Amino acid sequence: MGLLTLLRHGETDYNAKSLFQGRVDEPLNAVGEEQAKRAAASIGKVDRVITSPLQRAQKTAEAFGILPDVDEQWIECNFGEWEGHPISSIDSDKWERYKTDLSYKPPGGESIQEVNQRVFTSLENLSIGEEEHLLVVTHTLPIKSAFHWVLGVEIPVLRTRLSTASYTQIGFFGDERILLNFNVTS
């Protein structure tokens, strides 16, 4: 079985303050650095690492001691004008629409449908050897998109919770993909 582990980056100050982070390139805070070390110990040996271009993902990946390949497809959703603001400050009608309409874009941002398209394409193009363990260090919405992809169903992805430095694992059994773990923390 090939194994794909999707690891959400460790905590940043934006996460601690419950702010939309999106493409804002925040570093890990001290908690996030410790979370990255614990996640690496929990996940164990990996053969290859891919990471988002954002520094919080790259710094989390450093805990594995393997030079990662950077892939733009795994960057977080662009939340546009919402970035840097708490969810509570977003107009409630717009927030409800974003949660229920996959094609809705925050002002100046990206839709969930667009995130799904780029993540699905990346997943379909992944080559994972039969005994290989591939780690992708990424963000909330790309991991939720992968969850959607592996299950093959339309789901309200915003109704699932992903903790910082949590991991999700997908087993590759020939042409079959199986969700093995979701939102595991160490």
Q: Catalytic site residue 85?
A: no
In angstroms, the CA 166 to CA 135 distance is 12
Among residues 9, 133, 139, 148, which one is catalytic? 9
In angstroms, the CA 51 to CA 185 distance is 19
Q: What is the DSSP letter of 5?
A: E
In angstroms, the CA 7 to CA 132 distance is 16
Q: Which residues pair with 49 in a beta bridge?
A: 135
Do residues 141 and 77 touch, judged by C-beta distance below 8 A? yes
Q: Catalytic site residue 83?
A: no
- Indicate the residue type of 114: E
In angstroms, the CA 38 to CA 182 distance is 17
Among residues 26, 76, 83, 110, which one is catalytic? 76
Tell me the catalytic residues.
Answer: 9, 76
